[in-house]
Structure 1
Amino acid sequence: MPYRLLSPYLALGLATVTLAGCSKEQSQQQAAPAPMVAVVTIKGEQLPNIIELPGRIEAVRTAEVRARINGIVQRRLYKEGTDVGEGAPLFQIDPSQYRAQVQQGQAALQRALAARANAASVVARYKPLVADRSVSGQENDAAVSELRQAEAQVAEARAALAQNQLELSYTTIRAPIAGRVGRAEVTEGALVSSGEATLMTRVNQMAPLYAVFTESNSAILDLIEQVRSGQLKIASLNAVEVHLVLDNGSDYGSPGKLDFTDQSVDPQTGTQTIRAVFPNPSRLLTPGQFVRGRLQVGTVGGSVAVPERAIQFQGEQASVIVVGDGDVVAARPVQLGAQVKGRWIIRSGLKTGERVVVDGWQKVRPGQKVRIQGAPKAQPAAPAAGR
């Protein structure tokens, strides 16, 4: 058969084979079962109202150790960055001058005591002589006056000696509180001054510690309105539990308690200060540390939450896969609240009764029909009677 007669037949055969292959592929796709997914049905719950705020750790007590006398620093008596007890010695200032002043004070006291003893003996001698007028009353009055002056000089010498001894004690600089002592601000050989109140080091109490947060006044007013309307239930502000998230994203294990809310608003920022107290047995928290606080301020009725694994993230946008009518899935953007016990609280985007895919959403696409894991299978129709 000529070539020109063969070409139409050959083209028709190729088209037939192609159509048969496409039909087979389509039938295979139609025969593929719908993917299996696990879902959770959204229910309204009484969930905790979590407020996240940035904050900073502060010491409950901070003491600046300053010089109370003038002198040369001889020694540093502590190791920087260690815990010290109240009254622990920190620095030694040269005591030579102050020891000499104590000795001078002691000598002055002894001189005053001797003068008082002499004046007292004169008064004692004059006393019987005044009755028989061997000593005039004027002389007796002068002796009594000298005795009183001598007693005043003794008191003055005692006070001066006490002041000298006090200044001598100031040559040993001690920790005013128990806590962790910081780095030394002066070194051996440095001249310190009481007039300038030279800063020598700092001591911070490390347990417990404060976490200080700020919240806008408008947000606090909204919170008060929710409490008044009954939407938010709070037992007591003193019972508000606070959890910390550290700067590296890890959770601080020990919860704290809210203990102070400032009643004044900062006019520059429009915020109020909120403070919580935390135990710090392992010394993991340090003053100045940045943290995030998660305040559990009461509970809110009718809230919804989904497991963490149901949430998909594209940048900062969160979404879930929702199973609608006919078991067809669709993507739904949601606004997230806080994480509570392995679940995300949903602020908006979902309502009660909807079904959210928690497992298997990676293998489905919007508009696709799915099978629900654990759903009852459709039963085949019963055969008609007589067949």
Structure 2
Amino acid sequence: MNRNFQFIGKNYFLFLIFFSSTLLNYSCSKKEEIVLPPIQVNAVKAIQTEVPIYEEFVAQVYGESDVDIRSRVEGWITSLNFREGSFVKKGTLLYVIDDIQYQTNVDREQSQLASAKTEMVRAQNELARVRPLAEMNALSKQDLDNAEASYKASVARVEAAEASLSNTKIELGYTRVYAPFDGVIGISNFRVGDYVTRAGTSSVLATISSIGAVRVRFQISEREYLRLTRFTQEELERTRKNVKIILADSTLYEETGEINLADREIDPKTGTLTVEARFPNPKGILRPGLFVKARILITTLPNAILVPQRAVIQQQHLSQVYLINESGEIKATPVETGPRTDDAWVILSGVKQGDMVAILGTTGLTPETKIEVIEQTWPEKSQNP
């Protein structure tokens, strides 16, 4: 019994070994038969074109005129006659300040002027009476001199009263505050019932800005300034008249600006020079205080080689692209990059016009990798406007 059991066990063990070996051989033969499909790789052709090179600077928008409207008299605000944030025309009545005391001053000065004029008429009549008598020696020369002095003094008092009356009328006029020019008025710092003074920050009622055109200010570094000084007159004029701005939503403002001034000095605290450009603003899109990017045309590269930025792989100081030859083989190639323009790199060396450059999906690829090239359309839009 034991002998039979041992025989069966031995045969069963041999069967397991044979079965396992058969499965292993079958599995290996299956693996040898598996052929992986080629990896799809998107690619574009490097292009050669004229490329304008721009520099971008953080900038801020100012109105063509930004004026603080200040109170020139003291008193209580009795009327607010505009809608905050709206467009107002030159001469529009904006504020009315309580004018009772100023009207009282005018009335008092008018009374004093009338009194002075009356005194002047009396002195004039007295002089007219004394002069012929003095000529006949009926009155002394002293009497004539006194009469003439009295008349001249009365004339001076009239002139002083007139000046004082004019001043009080001017102050009365200051109780009505008008828009100095066409523009957009901001939020009022005072409401009806508030007391305003003529001095300090409390005298600023509101600010009005003229925005038919705007000023855009930005700072350039000393290095950039020195580079501009080496431009020819033609290059400077082209740069001066080709200023663009990029808005906060990354869109390009449709109007082109022109540099109209640069500060007289380099700021010693920041090492920068303030530059100002003027932009038309016919639709009123640009408002004072808006932060934008100023884009200035620096130079133009006549025959630049371009590839998409996403095709360039950068690792520390090394830049490379994956080139695909006519046989469909892919190879990592070091390149020297120049400036960026829109969604492209300018390639100074390593790529020539028409070379097929792989984009995306290049991780882990080797020259032995089977690939299927899917050529993409690029560029989708023209380079810098």
Q: How would you bin the TM-score normalised by the shorter chain?
A: 0.7 to 0.9
Task: Report whether the alignment pairs 1:149 with 2:153.
Answer: yes
Distance in 1, matches of 2:195 and 2:103, equals: 18
- Does structure 1 retain, via aligned residues, the 8 Å contact 2:71–2:198? yes
**Structure 2 residue 221 is matched with structure 1 residue 216:** yes
Structure 1 residue 68, shift from structure 2 partner = 1.2
Question: How many Å separate the matches in 1 of 2:366 and 2:120?
Answer: 107
- Give 1:178's match in structure 2, choosing from 173, 179, 182: 182
Where 1:39 maps in the other structure, the secondary structure is strand
User: Which of the residues 67, 73, 79 maps onto 1:69?
Assistant: 73
Distance 1:192 1:4 in 2: 109
1:84 aligned to 77, 83, 88, which one? 88
1:25 and 2:25 matched: no
- Separation in 2 of the partners of 1:4 and 1:191? 109
Does residue 289 in structure 1 map to residue 290 in structure 2?
A: yes
Residue deviations 1:180-237, cap 9 Å, x none? 2222222332222224462222222223112211122123324545x47xxx972516
Map 1:212-291 → 2, pairs under 5 A: 212-225=217-230, 227=231, 234-236=235-237, 239-291=240-292
Whether contact under 8 Å (1:35, 1:363) holds in the other structure is no
Structure 1 residue ranges without an equivalent (≥5): 375-387
User: Counterpart of 2:211 in 1: which secondary structure?
Assistant: coil
Between 346-355 and 183-192, report the one with greater CA deviation.
346-355
Q: CA deviation at 1:310?
A: 5.4
1:37–1:250: structure 2 CA closer, same or farther, 3 Å change rule? closer
What is residue 171 of structure 2 aligned with on the other side?
Answer: 167
2:205 maps to: 200
Distance in 1 of aligned mates of 2:169 and 2:206 = 24
On the 8 A contact 2:40/2:374 being kept in 1, the answer is: no
Aligned residue-pair number: 360
Cα distance, 1:101–1:319 mapped onto 2, change above 3 Å: farther
Q: Tell me the TM-score normalised to structure 1 length.
A: 0.77
CA distance in 1, matches of 2:195, 2:335: 67
Distance 1:34 1:183 in 2: 62
Give me the whole-angstrom Cα distance separating, in 1, the residues matched to 2:354 and 2:282. 46
Q: Name the aligned partner's letter for residue 339 of structure 1.
A: T
The aligned runs of 1:357-368 (5 Å cut-off) are: 357=357, 362=361, 365-367=365-367, 368=369
Instruction: Write the mapping of 1:47-66 to structure 2, written as runs, cut at 5 A.
Output: 47-66=51-70
TM-score (norm 2): 0.78
- Please say if residues 85 and 186 of structure 2, whose CA atoms lie closer than 8 Å, have aligned partners that are also in contact: yes
Query: Is the Cα–Cα contact under 8 Å of residues 56 and 213 in structure 1 kept in the other structure?
Result: yes
SS class of match (2:254): strand
Query: Deviation per CA, 1:148-187, whole angstroms, max 9, x where unpaired?
Result: 2221111111101100100001111223343222222223
**Equivalents in 1 of 2:98, 2:238: separation in Å?**
53
CA 304–263 in structure 1, closer or farther in 2 if over 3 Å, else same? farther
Post-superposition shift, 1:100? 0.8
Q: In the alignment, is the contact (CA less than 8 A) between 2:239 and 2:298 conserved in 1?
A: no
Code of the aligned partner of 1:171: T
Equivalent residue for 2:8? none
Question: What's the CA shift for 1:324?
Answer: 4.6
Amino acid at match of 1:24: E
Change in CA separation of 1:366 and 1:167 when aligned onto 2, cut-off 3 Å? farther
SS, match of residue 113 in structure 1: helix
Q: d(CA) in 1 for partners of 2:13 and 2:192? A: 111
Structure 1 contact 237–258 (Cα < 8 Å) conserved: no
Match of 1:139 among 125, 138, 143: 143
Is there any run of 5+ residues in structure 2 with no aligned partner, and where?
1-10, 376-385
Does the C-alpha gap of structure 1 residues 36 and 100 become closer, same or farther in structure 2, counting only changes over 3 Å? closer
Once residues 198 and 63 of structure 1 are traced to their aligned partners in structure 2, the CA distance between those partners, rounded to angstroms, is: 13
Q: Distance in 2 between matches of 1:72 and 1:37?
A: 73
Provide the secondary structure at the position in 2 that maps to 1:61.
strand
Cα 1:34–1:95 shift into 2, 3 Å: closer
1:299-324 CA distance string (max 9 Å, x none): 2344332357756899xx99754335
